[in-house]
Amino acid sequence: MGRARLAREWVEVAVHRAVPEADDVLRVAGALAERLDHGGWEGADPYDGLGSPLARRIPERMARLRQAFLQCVRRSPFDLRPILRIGHRRMAAATGLACTASARLASDERWRSRRDRLALMTMERQTLEGRFRGLWGYEFDVQTRWGAYGATEPNVVATCFAADGCLDAMALDEQRTTRLARALLGNLWRDGYFAYSPGTSALIHNANLLGAKLAARLAASLALDSRLRDELRLAVRSAVATALRYQREDGSWPYGEGRALGWVDGYHTAYSLLSLDAICSLGAVDDSARQALDRGARFYFTRMFDGPRPRHFAGRRVDPSDSNNVATGLRAAVWGAEKAMSRPSFQEGSSGS
């Protein structure tokens, strides 16, 4: 099924039903997954601008220019990738997320088979040699306000999404699970929080909580020896304590701590909430974490949506062009409904703000 036809079918569903039924969603999801199957699960990423051969000519010391180049590709109303020779690629973070989704539908043989294929694709990208072995990274260089990391360097976000998919598919054996746990603590743990990548010490709140969630999940695994599990539990408690210390009075978290990192955005807030909820569900922390989760959820569903539409930044108009924010908003909205954390009128219309 082509992209245009798929979009038309979803529009028809949205027009005829204010809230699509489960069968409609599954049909569209199945059609999209089949299309990706045929394409080898290769595609673009909003932040893959530095994958262009032209970007490689920008010296690493010119961080502002590198960031501007990346953001130009991300924000352009037209796809600049063909012009800039940014090819499609298979990404471990994407196949990991898709593996998790497929695992939830694994009662259907087609989704079960897809889960197993995606798990293998994801494991193929796991670093197996050197000091980073056991972790995952992005398949392109990235420049941010607070630092940079290359395609050969792992990061906590890609690692968590990929590892979750493999764990959901029960695809990691004891050796790989142990390598993952040791690498998480050895490369990404700082004294009190999980860092985004091995080369930075910046405290990025969603990254810290994503790392803590993975550590909590690994600590519950019987594949690890008791000493390593205890180290993971201690790291989880410390990382969550750090997150709670920096939560603002209104329930929000800034993106990070440091110069020019104080903004609040939708999908990073959602990552933090979903991670903290998973940690609480694993029983790895005390009631203060659940109270912080409740405050964060109230902020998120009150301030980060215009009616049912996710905002990118708090207090600003909806930006539907950011696919990551829209997709994560949908995921968080489902979670909020399941946990009774979103208000009853959440799915009804727009607030008009």
DSSP string, 90-123: E-HHHHHHHHHHHHHTTTSHHHHHHHHHHHHHHH
Containing 89, the helix (H) or strand (E) segment is strand 89-90
The string of pLDDT tens digits covering residues 124-173 is 999 988 889 999 999 999 998 888 888 889 999 999 999 999 999 999 99
Q: Check whether residue 142 and residue 239 sit in a common domain.
A: yes
Q: Check whether residue 329 and residue 182 sit in a common domain.
A: yes
Tell me the average pLDDT across 79-95: 96
Residue 72 within any structural domain of the chain: no
Sequential DSSP letters for 234-264? HHHHHHHHHHHHH--TTS---SBSSTT----
Rounded CA gap, 275 and 269, in Å? 10
Burial state string for 295-328 with b = 16 or more CB within 10 A and e = fewer than 16: bbbbbbbebbbeebebbbebeeebeeebeebbeb
Note the pLDDT of residue 215: 98
The string of pLDDT tens digits covering residues 221-247 is 988 999 999 999 999 999 999 999 999
Neighbours of 216 (CB within 10 A): 25
Note the pLDDT of residue 11: 45
Q: Check whether residue 107 and residue 180 sit in a common domain.
A: yes
Specify whether the CB–CB gap between 210 and 160 falls below 8 A.
Answer: yes
Residue 86 within any structural domain of the chain: no
Q: Check whether residue 333 and residue 196 sit in a common domain.
A: yes
Containing 29, the helix (H) or strand (E) segment is helix 22-38
Q: Check whether residue 128 and residue 14 sit in a common domain.
A: no
Sign of torsion over alpha carbons 19, 21, 24, 30: positive
Q: Check whether residue 32 and residue 170 sit in a common domain.
A: no
Note the pLDDT of residue 5: 52
Residue 222 within any structural domain of the chain: yes
The CA distances from residue 304 to 195, 206, 241, 325, in Å, are: 25, 16, 24, 11
Give 15's pLDDT tier (boundaries 50, 70, 90): very low
Residue 55 within any structural domain of the chain: no
Q: What's the domain count of the chain? A: 2
Q: Check whether residue 242 and residue 313 sit in a common domain.
A: yes
Sign of torsion over alpha carbons 193, 197, 202, 208: negative
Q: Check whether residue 136 and residue 224 sit in a common domain.
A: yes
Residue 353 within any structural domain of the chain: no
Give the chain's mean pLDDT: 89
Torsion of CA 276, 278, 281, 284, to 10 degrees: -60
Q: How far is CA 326 from the centre of its chain?
A: 12
Rounded CA gap, 66 and 179, in Å? 33
pTM of the model: 0.89
Rounded CA gap, 326 and 267, in Å? 8
Q: Check whether residue 11 and residue 138 sit in a common domain.
A: no
Both structure tokens of 246: 């920096």
Note the pLDDT of residue 316: 73
- 33: containing domain: 1-38
The string of pLDDT tens digits covering residues 211-221 is 999 999 999 99
Neighbours of 102 (CB within 10 A): 26
Rounded CA gap, 167 and 122, in Å? 11
* CATH (domain of 253): 1.50.10.10
Residue 186 within any structural domain of the chain: yes
Give 20's pLDDT tier (boundaries 50, 70, 90): low
Residue 244 within any structural domain of the chain: yes
Say which DSSP state 78 is in.
Answer: S
Q: Check whether residue 18 and residue 122 sit in a common domain.
A: no
Q: How far is CA 36 from the centre of its chain?
A: 19
Residue 206 within any structural domain of the chain: yes
Q: Check whether residue 112 and residue 245 sit in a common domain.
A: yes
Neighbours of 230 (CB within 10 A): 12
Nearest to 142 by CA among 205, 181, 100, 91: 91
Tell me the average pLDDT across 77-84: 94
Q: Check whether residue 128 and residue 19 sit in a common domain.
A: no
- Residue 263 clears pLDDT 80, i.e. is over it: yes
Containing 43, the helix (H) or strand (E) segment is strand 42-43
